[in-house]
Each structure stands twice: as C-alpha cells, then as structure tokens.
C-alpha cells in the first residue's frame, strides 16, 4: 500500500477545495464526483471535512489506518475523518484546548456513523488500563441504547436519528477518558403516535416484540404480532438487513455495560409496553342529557393491562380520559371530553410518556458515565444534529431545526473568521476585512425577544381568547411584513400577490441556504405541547418506580397553576446553552452529504448533492477560506518540498529555513503580491501560484529521476564488472588449490597402502604365537578339570549313602510312634462311650421319676407353664445380651443392637428411646451454665443458617468465644471500655466496606444487650453507636464469605448516614448473637435475617445493590469487592475446589 507524504501527492481531483481553480459550483460538484468515483469520500475545505456516504463498507477504517493517521499533521496524508479526530485529540491533550466536533447533514448522510468513527478513533489512540477501558466501553456502549430509543427507519435512512445529540467527553491531563455528559435536543415524539407511509416507529418497539423471550412478553402482556398495535406501521415493519431480535440482545447487553440494574431495565420495558397498550385504547361517543357528547372507552382490556403495568387504578385513568379539570385561582371547573379530545389526550400522554422516558434514559446514562473526580477536565464535544431540512410540507419541526442550523452557520462563520484572524495576527500578517453574508439578521428574525417569530408564537399561545394558526399568521403579517427575509401573501416583500407558490396559510423565510416555505397548520398546538393536568396527576399516582420522576408536576401537594414553558421556548434556551458551550471550545467541522436517495453505492446524483451543498453553505465556506490566503505552510516543510527548484537550496540549505524560502521564491520570480512571509509560515494568496510551484516541482523531479537513473545505471555496470573481475581471481585461486589437494591425496593414499601391508604381516606373526600359547594353557586347564570332577563325584556318592541310612531310621521310628498313638486313642474313645451311656441312662431315670411325680400337674397347666418358662428364658437371654452390647454414652452415637425376635419390636424401640433420654440427661448434667448458653447459641445458629449459608458447616466445630479481643484485659482499649457502660457480649475486628472503591477499613465491633458499637481500631474512638431497636434487618449471602449488612429503620436517628456493610471472620457468631438478643428482648421486634445473593444497601441518599458472584481462577482464592458503577458493588467469591 502506498504511503502518501503530502496532501498534494498523487491527488485525485483536489483534496482541499480551497485550492480548487477555477472556483464555481459546477467545478465544486465535479471535483466531489471525481473523488467519489475513486472511493475518495473525504474532501477538505481548509480544516472542514466533507464526508459523502458511500452506502457500503470501505477498507479505510482498519487498525492499520488508525496507526497511519496517529500523531500526523492534518495535511500530511490524504483527507480522512481520522485526520480531523487526531488533530482535535492532540490539540486537547498537548495544548490543553477544549475541542468540539460539529457533525451536520441531512438524514441518511452518515452523521451517526461519523460520530461513531470519531469516538472509536479517540478510544483507540488514548491510554490503556482497566479503568480507562471500562470508561471507553461505557461511552461507546451508550450509542446502541440511545439509537434503539431515539432512531427509526425513514424513507431516507434505515437508522435515522430522530433527535439531536451532543456529548462532552472528559479527559484527564494524560489524555485518558474519565467520563462524559450527553445532552439531547428535540426528540421527534410525534413519531410515537403517527409515522409517514414507508417509515417505522422507534426501533425499540420492534426490537422488544422480536427479541424478548416468551416469559418477558408474558410479563409485559404483549404479543409478537406487530399488527396487534395501532402505533406500529405495518407497511415497513420489517427492514431488510436489520435484525431486530439480535439488536434487542445488543441493547440489553449495552445497558448492563453502561450500568443499568435489572429492575431498571424491566421498568423501562414496562413503560415501552404501556405506550403500545395506550395506542390500542379507542373511544366511542355517548350523548348526555344536556345534548353534549362525551367519550367512553370501547374495550377496557388494554386499559386494564396498561394500568396493571403502571400500577395505577383503572378508574383514575379512565376518568382522566373522559374529563378535564381547569383550575383558575381558587376555582375548579370540570368539563367532559368528546371523542376527538379524548384521542388528543391519549396521543399527548403517549408522546409525553415516551419523550420523558427518553430524557430519563439520557440522565441515567449520564449518572453512569460521568467523571468521578472533581478536578478540572479537558473536554471534547461531539455534536450529531439534524441538518437543514427543506421538504414539500414544512411545519413547526422543520422551522426550529432550520433555526438551529442558522445558529450553527452563524457560529461557524464567526469561529472560522476568528481563527483566520488569530492566525494572521500570530504570524504578523496584515488582516483584511472579509465580505461575507452575515445571517445574524435571520437569527434575529426568529429569536428576537420582542418581535421574533418564536416570541410572537409564545405570545399567541399565552393570549386569552380564541387562538388559532391563522391568528398567529396574521400577527406575523402585521409585525414582520417589512422584514427583508420574510414573505407571505399579505407582506410587502411578496412581489406578486397572485403568486400561487405562496398559499394563504403559509409564510416563507429566506434562510442562508435558500428560501423555505412553512405551513402554519399545527404551529400553535405543537408549540403548546399540552398534557392535561388530570393525566399528569393520574400518572403521578401510579405505583411504578419511574412515574413520579417522569411526571413531577402531577404531585397534588405541589400544584403549579403557571403554564409550563412552550416547546419553542425550551428549544431556544437549549440552543442558546449549546451555542455558549461551543463558543468556549475550538471547533472542528464534519459536513455529511448524501450522494443519492436510493441508498445505493456508486451513484452520484448531481442535483441532490448540489441542493445539500447549498443549504450546508459549502461554497460560502470556501469563499471565506479563500478571502485571505488560500494556502499556508511552515517554512521547514515548504523548503524541504521545493528546495530542488533552486540551485542555491539544492541539495542542502545550511541557513535558517525562512531565508532558504526567500531565496527560493526570489529565484523563481514569483510576484511579491502573491505571497507573504509570516513568523513561522509562508502564506500563498492564489491557488495558481501553488499549482505553478507543484508543476515546477514535478518537472524537476522528472529531471532528477533521469539523473538518478543515469548514475544508478553507471554504478550498476561498474559494480558488475568489478564483481566479474573478483570472481575470476577467486575461481583461479580455488582451482589451483584443488589441483594441489588432489596431488597430495594421491601421495597420501600410496603411503597408507604400504604401511597397511607391513602392519598386516607383523600382526599375523604375533597372532600365530598367541594362538600356540593359548592352546597350551587350555590343555592344562582341561586335565585339572577332569581330575577335580572325579573327586567330586566320589564324595557325592558317599554323602548320598549316608543320607539314605539316616532316613530309614527316621521312618521306622515314625511308624512305631503312630501305632502307640492309635492304641491310646481307641482306649479313650471306649471310656468316653461308657461314661455317656451312664449319663443317658441316669437322665432317663430322672425324667421317669419326675413324670411320675408331676403327671397330674402336667396334664392341667403344662402348655401355659412351658410357654411362660420359654418366654422368661427368652427375655432373660434378651436382657443379658442387651446389657453386654449397649452403645457408648455419647449422645451422637446412633448405634443400637439388633432385636433377636420380631415380637420385641415395640419394647426394643422404647428401650432405645429411654436409654437415649437417660444418656442425654447424664450428658447435660455435666454442663455449666456458660456451656449451656453456648450450645443454645449453636442450636439457634443451626436453625438460622443450616442448608442456607455455605459458610455454616465450617463454623460448627469452632466454639463461640465472644470476646476475641480480651477487651477488658487489654490496656489499649481501656478508654473504649469506659465509654461502653453495659456488659460486652462480643468484641471482634471487622472490615467496614467503603462504597466508593469496595475496600475495607478495620473497625472494632462491640455488641451489648442494647447497642452495636463501631470504633476505630487504632485510636479506640467510637465511630458509630446504634441502638438495637433501630436495626430493621441483617442481610448476608448464601456464599462462603463473611459479608453482612446492618440495615437501619427509615426515619431513625441512626439512619442518617445509611446502612453498614461489614465483613468478618466470625459472621455466624455475630448474626446469631444479634438475632438471639432481639428474640429475648420483650420491648423489641424480632430481628429479620435475610439470606440472599443480591440485596440493597442504603448509603445516605442512594441505594446500592450488593451482588455476589462466583469468581474466576485468575482472581485468586480471596474474596474481593469492587465498585462496578454508582449503584452496584460486586463481591467475587472464589470457586471452592
């Protein structure tokens, strides 16, 4: 890829319109078209960037491009939006100048994309780091949220911004972003209730119905079918290339990154659903006895569902749609609304509800992205606002949009001329007055406090009596008839009273961009923008979390009979604030142009571009830039670029750069009136002079190229010859070396052969001698081996014979012993048989005697006695077995001997119960009173935390010590002991969590029967003393952590500074003792213990959500608490192995 070193190198057309020659509207458009056809969509007018929408992706926004334009001079490379963004960022960072980037153009020209490119470039080139990246991500993710709620599909643009946005991005002294502030202007809220043919409502409605889950839609009482809702146009509900479902997920993710809580996102979606339901409410006329018509709601189902979403009584809202209360001083008059008025009230409520929701979103985003530090910041503002609008039917919206553009044009001309004048004064160039069209007279026509159009419109809206658009036009004809930029059918400036292009109900204003015809129909109603007080009060009564913030005027205790400011007055004040803000900053301009109406690439519609160039005032911009000097350049780069045009400066000039430029211009004989010397720059008046220098440079470069080619070719030939010569010498030397090596190798080989033969003869002779010697040694060894073998065999035969003799004796002795044993055994068996026979005969004889003696008794009670005897023996055997198998005396030993017979089930279970009770009684009798209290606390801890808190199992084996600091014995805490009058039940060191950064500060935690005391660990000074009756509840998580929150009752004296978020290693003991003390106190409510992974803590005026999550392995094994935004503290719990 070719890297350009100057704006003038390899130009396609003219990169800077100031250098265009000749300058005319046709040549201006021809230059734009030529560059557009070659994919050059950016062109300069001095420091102003003209951007043509290519309607396709171009490879000019890559990370390589960002690095290419980073820290480069504005005119150093070809025109690009990155050059302007880099210039603004470096001026802010290095020169400490606040910047603003003004992006204008009509719908579809690419303003929103241009603002995204500027922000993405600044995010890419500024510093890195966790906090900086978080701020950058929040600033960038605010765009999808605002686009979803403020953008819509129009006939000109599929993602058209229907509001003006100004963002101030704040930086620190290093140039790293700290935060931002967003201001919005004039949301097109009429689109909520009515859209032109071929256009859609705001994106969020379609994204919600397409991308929300079935459960979410069920909670919001919505269906996916677009045709169910009157406020959604059906002819263009789906747009090709636009995935509403995916965009909805993107918006939800962006809201989480910006810092929205889950309940806040749900509340916003409920209001969006309420607007859709509001559009389905229809009315029917109903005649009254006095002949007047009043309105009634046809189907109350949608009204019922809407009231359920907003938490409002159905009868209250139904009455607000049927009646209107007018208050004047001490009187109230209630009038009925007809069907037309009811529809007007419904649409007014829908528009106000959505518009105020959008303003709340902007405020909420500002809370999240605002800079935390209070020091002075550097600021870069980005303004993305509607361009000048000229439609076939222009109304109130086009009037105030064009008024805003008139003010922007005025400040553009003023700042441009001021910048030119300041540079001339800085460089010591005489300033010449520049003639230009000053549109201050048009701005005065619109905004004058006495006779301005907006002032007369407000006066007409506030006037008692019948007020219509026609009376407003009559007033304009009366007061503005003499104004040279105002025309109507009755004004004196209308040259032809029968001019059919100027209807009776219209007036025409000569703007800087051309004449615009405005239709007065709707001016008064749109300027009033009234919402009936009954509807405001009904909305204020809703239980929804946002309604009281959106409709503060509905508060019945703060009724204000003064009319609210009109839309025109509010917009005029906003524009005035914006202009004052822009006046304090260094401006940078991006003018966006739409090349065609078909949203297609490679099409350049000349008439459309000409129209936009006129109302953007681009030709006026070029003329203002060229009124003084068309081109200026510092002496060093000027001398470096053109030094080859003069022999005195080529190739190196050793003096000051200015003297070199003076020598160069004198040598070229450039007329003195065509340029001037400044302190650090040369100023060239006419572009022809610059093009003359460029042409001379081009010719000189061609001559220099020829000279360089000649010198190069000579050097190349000489180098080739020297290389050949050197190669011949090298080849000859290598060949001679090779020949000598070959000769040496032959001699060496012959010598080796002779040596090998001699060594072979000597080796064979020695081998024969060694073999003879070895044979002699082997013969001696063989003879000795045979002799030793004969001796060994003879000894073995002798030993075997001896062993056989010993074995025979042993066998004979064993047989004799066996015979004796068998004889003795037979004798003993015979003796035993005789004794057994005597015992059996004796037993039979005794039995015979017993049976003869007790025969009469056996016949009567034999069965019962045998049964009782058997049972008695069984029971005796059971109890003796139970005695020998009893379990241990430990109460936790659950073992018990098995029952031997099934009929003993009841007795077996009862004996087990009695034994356990007796064992427990014996175990309890060993306890002291202190030990009993400890076990009662352990039992209460089990009831509170078992199977609820992951930390509980590890605390079971740890005794509750209470006083971990030995505070009464430690002399360091004598002062603290004297400050606490009651007995201290628990003393421990805890960490008090700071809301600002999530870090802990050590505190001494003391618990008595009536108070909770927090003291400084180092000094022992009491920081907080909270009576136990002021405690509302204690909250902790289900995780394995020690965080807990002491929540105070609202309105109590201790609740002034808010709740306490603490962390302790003895969490179970602290919360158990708190709960036990509150349970035992007769005059105190039982303390509520809340165990949840997400709970709210009140810090002064703000509620902060404490959320517990499982941490990743990279966070280590420690619990960490971090502040994610102003309303969220996130506690990361390490994952248990």
What residues act catalytically? 107-108, 112, 157, 160-161, 387, 389
Please provide the DSSP assignment of 61-102 as one string: SSHHHHHHHTT--TTTSS--HHHHHHHHHHHHHHH---EEEE
| CA dist., res. 146 & res. 362, Å (int) | 8
Tell me, what DSSP letter sits at residue 963?
Answer: B
Show Cβ contacts of residue 349 under 8 Å, excluding neighbours closer than 6 positions: 278, 531, 535, 539
Residue 390 three-state SS: coil
Show Cβ contacts of residue 693 under 8 Å, excluding neighbours closer than 6 positions: 642, 645, 668, 670
Buried/exposed 867-888: b ≥16 CB within 10 Å, e otherwise: eeeeeeeeeeebeeebeeeeee
**Residue 1013: enclosing H or E segment and its boundaries?**
strand 1011-1016
| CA dist., res. 1103 & res. 1127, Å (int) | 7
- 544 Cα distance to chain centroid: 26
| CA dist., res. 662 & res. 682, Å (int) | 9
Residue 1025 three-state SS: strand
| CA dist., res. 840 & res. 845, Å (int) | 9
CA nearest to 169, candidates 183, 150, 154: 183
Residue 394 three-state SS: strand
- Neighbour count for residue 666 (Cβ, 10 Å): 12
Instruction: Write phi, then psi, for 709 (nearest 5 degrees).
Output: -65, -40
Question: Please, is 202 exposed, middle or buried when counting C-beta atoms within 10 Å of its C-beta (0-12, 13-18, 19+)?
Answer: buried
Question: Residue holding tokens 């829908």?
Answer: 350
- Neighbour count for residue 866 (Cβ, 10 Å): 11
CB 1047 within 8 A of CB 1059: yes
CB 312 within 8 A of CB 541: yes
Question: Residue holding tokens 């003006």?
Answer: 164
| CA dist., res. 1067 & res. 1010, Å (int) | 19
| CA dist., res. 488 & res. 470, Å (int) | 12
CB 403 within 8 A of CB 202: no
| CA dist., res. 540 & res. 553, Å (int) | 8
Question: Please, is 1054 exposed, middle or buried when counting C-beta atoms within 10 Å of its C-beta (0-12, 13-18, 19+)?
Answer: buried
CB 476 within 8 A of CB 453: yes
Beta bridge partners of 1121: 1131
Please provide the DSSP assignment of 168-219 as one string: EEEE-TTS-EEEEEEEEE---GGGGT---TT--SBHHHHHHHHHS-HHHHHH
Taking CA atoms, 564 is separated from 413, 488, 529, 553, 574, in Å, by: 35, 31, 9, 10, 16
| Peptide bond connecting 588 to the previous residue in cis, omega within 30 degrees of 0 | no
Q: Which two tokens stand for residue 1125?
A: 């935004």
**Residue 768: enclosing H or E segment and its boundaries?**
helix 687-853
Q: Which two tokens stand for residue 953?
A: 């199992």
Residues 1078, 1084, 1085, 1090, Cα dihedral to 10°: -40
| CA dist., res. 866 & res. 1016, Å (int) | 85
């Amino acid at each position: 890829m070719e890297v350009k070193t100057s704006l003038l190198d390899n130009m396609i057309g003219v990169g800077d319109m100031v250098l265009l020659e000749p300058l005319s509207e046709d040549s201006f458009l021809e230059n734009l078209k030529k560059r557009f056809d070659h994919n050059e969509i950016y062109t300069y007018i001095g420091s102003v960037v003209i951007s043509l929408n290519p309607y396709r992706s171009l490879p000019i926004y890559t990370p390589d491009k960002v690095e290419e334009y980073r820290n480069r001079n504005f005119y150093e490379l070809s025109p690009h939006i990155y050059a302007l963004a880099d210039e603004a960022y470096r001026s802010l960072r290095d020169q400490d100048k606040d910047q603003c980037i003004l992006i204008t153009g009509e719908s579809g020209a690419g303003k929103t994309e241009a603002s995204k490119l500027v922000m993405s470039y600044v995010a890419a080139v500024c510093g890195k780091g966790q906090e900086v990246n978080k701020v950058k991500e929040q600033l960038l993710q605010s765009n999808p949220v605002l686009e979803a709620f403020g953008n819509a599909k129009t006939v000109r643009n599929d993602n058209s911004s229907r509001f003006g946005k100004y963002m101030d991005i704040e930086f620190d002294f290093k140039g790293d972003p700290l935060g931002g502030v967003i201001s919005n202007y004039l949301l097109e809220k009429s689109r909520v209730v009515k859209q032109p043919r071929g256009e859609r409502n705001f994106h969020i409605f379609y994204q919600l119905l397409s991308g929300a889950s079935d459960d979410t839609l069920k909670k919001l009482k919505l269906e996916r079918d677009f045709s169910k809702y009157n406020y959604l146009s059906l002819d263009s509900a789906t747009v090709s290339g636009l995935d509403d479902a995916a965009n909805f997920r993107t918006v939800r993710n962006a809201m989480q990154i910006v810092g929205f809580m889950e309940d806040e996102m749900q509340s916003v979606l409920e209001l969006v659903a309420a607007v859709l339901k509001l559009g389905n409410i229809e009315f029917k006329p109903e005649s009254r006895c006095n002949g007047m018509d009043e309105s009634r709601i046809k189907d109350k189902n949608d009204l019922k569902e809407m009231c359920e979403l907003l938490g409002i009584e159905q009868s209250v809202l139904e009455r607000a749609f049927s009646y209107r209360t007018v208050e004047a001083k001490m009187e109230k008059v209630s009038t009925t609304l007809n069907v037309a008025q009811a529809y007007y009230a419904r649409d007014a409520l829908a528009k106000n509800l959505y518009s105020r929701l959008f303003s709340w979103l902007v405020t909420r985003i500002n809370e999240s992205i605002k800079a935390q530090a209070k020091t002075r910041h550097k600021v870069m503002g980005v303004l993305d606002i509607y361009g000048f609008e000229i439609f076939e039917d222009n109304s109130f919206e086009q009037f105030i949009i064009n008024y805003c553009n008139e003010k922007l044009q005025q400040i553009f001309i003023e700042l441009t001329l001021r910048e030119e004048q300041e540079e001339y004064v800085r460089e010591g160039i005489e300033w010449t007055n520049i003639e230009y069209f000053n549109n201050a007279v048009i701005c005065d026509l619109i905004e004058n406090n006495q006779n301005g159009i907006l002032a007369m419109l407000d006066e007409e809206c506030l006037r008692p009596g019948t007020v219509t658009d026609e009376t407003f036009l009559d007033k304009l004809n009366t007061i503005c008839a003499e104004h040279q930029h105002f025309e109507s059918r009755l004004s004196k400036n209308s040259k032809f009273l029968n001019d059919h292009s100027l209807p009776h109900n219209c007036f025409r204003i000569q703007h800087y961009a051309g004449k615009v015809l405005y239709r007065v129909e709707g001016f008064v109603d749109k300027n009033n923008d009234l919402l009936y007080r009954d509807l405001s009060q009904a909305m204020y009564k809703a239980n929804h979390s946002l309604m009281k913030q959106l409709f503060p005027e509905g508060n019945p205790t703060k009724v204000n009979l003064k009319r609210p400011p009109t839309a025109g007055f509010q917009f005029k004040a906003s524009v005035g604030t914006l202009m004052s803000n822009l006046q304090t900053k260094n401006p940078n301009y991006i003018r966006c142009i739409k090349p065609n109406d078909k949203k297609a690439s490679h099409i350049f519609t000349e008439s459309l571009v000409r129209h936009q160039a006129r109302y953007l005032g681009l030709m006026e911009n070029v003329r203002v830039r060229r009124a003084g000097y068309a081109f200026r350049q510092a002496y060093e780069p000027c001398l470096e670029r053109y030094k080859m045009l003069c022999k005195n400066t080529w190739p190196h000039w050793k003096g000051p750069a200015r003297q070199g430029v003076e020598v160069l211009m004198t040598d070229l004989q450039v007329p003195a009136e065509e340029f001037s010397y400044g302190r650090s720059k040369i100023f060239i008046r006419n572009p022809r002079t610059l093009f003359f220098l460029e042409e001379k440079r081009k010719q000189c470069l061609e001559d220099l190229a020829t000279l360089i080619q000649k010198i190069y070719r000579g050097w190349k030939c000489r180098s080739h010859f020297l290389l050949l010569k050197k190669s011949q010498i090298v080849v000859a030397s290598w060949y001679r070396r090779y020949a000598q090596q070959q000769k040496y190798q032959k001699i060496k080989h012959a010598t080796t052969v002779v040596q090998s033969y001699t060594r072979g003869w000597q080796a064979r002779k020695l081998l024969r001698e060694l073999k003879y010697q070895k044979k002699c040694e082997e013969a001696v060894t063989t003879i000795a081996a045979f002799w030793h073998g004969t001796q060994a065999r003879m000894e073995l035969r002798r030993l075997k014979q001896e062993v056989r003799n010993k074995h025979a004796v042993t066998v004979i002795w064993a047989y004799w012993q066996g015979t004796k044993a068998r004889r003795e055994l037979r004798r003993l068996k015979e003796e035993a048989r005789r004794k057994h026979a005597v015992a059996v005969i004796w037993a039979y004889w005794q039995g015979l005697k017993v049976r003869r003696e007790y025969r009469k008794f056996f016949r009567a009670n034999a069965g019962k006695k045998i049964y009782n005897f058997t049972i008695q023996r069984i029971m005796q055997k059971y109890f003796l077995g139970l005695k020998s198998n009893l379990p241990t005396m430990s109460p936790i030993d659950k073992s018990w001997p098995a029952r031997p017979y099934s009929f003993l089930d009841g007795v077996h279970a009862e004996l087990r119960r009695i034994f356990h009770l007796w064992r427990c009684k014996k175990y309890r009798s060993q306890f002291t009173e202190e030990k009993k209290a400890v076990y009662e606390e352990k039992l209460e801890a089990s009831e509170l935390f078992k199977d609820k808190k992951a930390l509980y199992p590890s605390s079971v084996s740890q005794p509750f010590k209470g006083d971990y600091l030995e505070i009464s014995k430690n002399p360091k805490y004598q002062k603290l002991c004297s400050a606490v009058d009651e007995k201290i039940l628990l003393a421990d060191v805890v960490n008090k969590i700071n809301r600002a950064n999530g870090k802990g500060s050590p505190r001494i935690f003391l618990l008595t029967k009536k108070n909770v005391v927090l003291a400084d660990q180092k000094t022992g000074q009491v920081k907080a003393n909270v009576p136990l009756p002021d405690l509302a509840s204690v909250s902790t998580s289900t995780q394995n952590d020690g965080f807990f929150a002491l929540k105070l009752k609202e309105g109590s004296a201790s609740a002034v500074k808010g709740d306490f978020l603490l962390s302790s290693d003895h969490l179970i003991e602290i919360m158990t003792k708190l709960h036990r003390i509150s349970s035992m106190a007769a005059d105190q409510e039982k303390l509520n213990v809340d165990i949840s992974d997400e709970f709210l803590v009140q810090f002064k005026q703000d509620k902060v959500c404490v959320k517990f999550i499982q941490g990743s392995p990279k966070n280590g094994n420690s619990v960490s608490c971090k502040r994610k935004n102003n309303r969220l503290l996130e506690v990361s719990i390490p994952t248990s192995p």
